[in-house]
């Protein structure tokens, strides 16, 4: 059982720029970053976090050759049932909260790409605690 429950979500931004048609894009790499920000709340029993997924699809041969870019943000408001004892527990709880939000935002992004002719696009569905280079908690 988790120490929090998701109360509401709000899609803040969804920007997808298709720079090349799928038949011209070819195979490449999906370079995305997942950022989690803890938005201040006045009450200790409520946490609001913002998840941002941004990046691009790049050519395997030329990193400057982009087929598309994506920039999306989702805000989640959570009720906290047990306040974290220290900063490391708080960071772990924020990552757990982000893992609730990632599938929601990833599904929206994948749907947009499918409608734009990139039906095989698949995004990561969770963050782990050790990926500090790609997962940033502020």
Give tens-digit pLDDT for 26-52: 677 889 999 999 997 788 889 999 999
What is the CB neighbour count within 10 angstroms for residue 21? 11
CA–CA gap between residue 94 and residue 99 (Å, rounded): 9
* Exposure b/e, 88-106, CB count within 10 A at least 16 = b: eebeebbbbbbebbbeebb
- Nearest alpha carbon to residue 134 among 52, 76, 16, 14: 52
Question: So what's the pLDDT on residue 130?
Answer: 55
Q: Taking the model in full, what pTM does it have?
A: 0.84
Question: So what's the pLDDT on residue 30?
Answer: 87
- Is 4-119 a domain of CATH 1.20.210.10? no
Q: Low-confidence residues of the chain, pLDDT below 70? A: 1, 26, 129-138
Question: So what's the pLDDT on residue 6?
Answer: 95
In sign, the C-alpha dihedral spanning 38, 73, 33, 127 is positive
């Amino acid at each position: 059982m988790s120490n929090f429950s998701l109360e509401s979500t709000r899609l803040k931004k969804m920007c997808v720029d298709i720079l090349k048609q799928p038949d011209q894009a070819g195979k490449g790499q999906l370079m995305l970053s997942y950022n989690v920000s803890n938005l201040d709340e006045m009450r200790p029993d409520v946490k609001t976090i913002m998840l941002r997924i941004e990046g691009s699809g790049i050519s395997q041969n030329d990193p400057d050759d982009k087929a598309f870019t994506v920039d999306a943000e989702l805000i989640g408001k959570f009720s906290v049932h047990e306040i974290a004892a220290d900063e490391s527990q708080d960071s772990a709880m924020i990552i757990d909260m982000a893992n609730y939000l990632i599938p929601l935002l990833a599904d929206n992004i994948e749907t947009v790409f499918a409608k734009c002719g990139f039906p095989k696009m698949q995004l990561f569905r969770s963050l782990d605690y050790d990926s500090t280079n790609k997962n940033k908690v502020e």
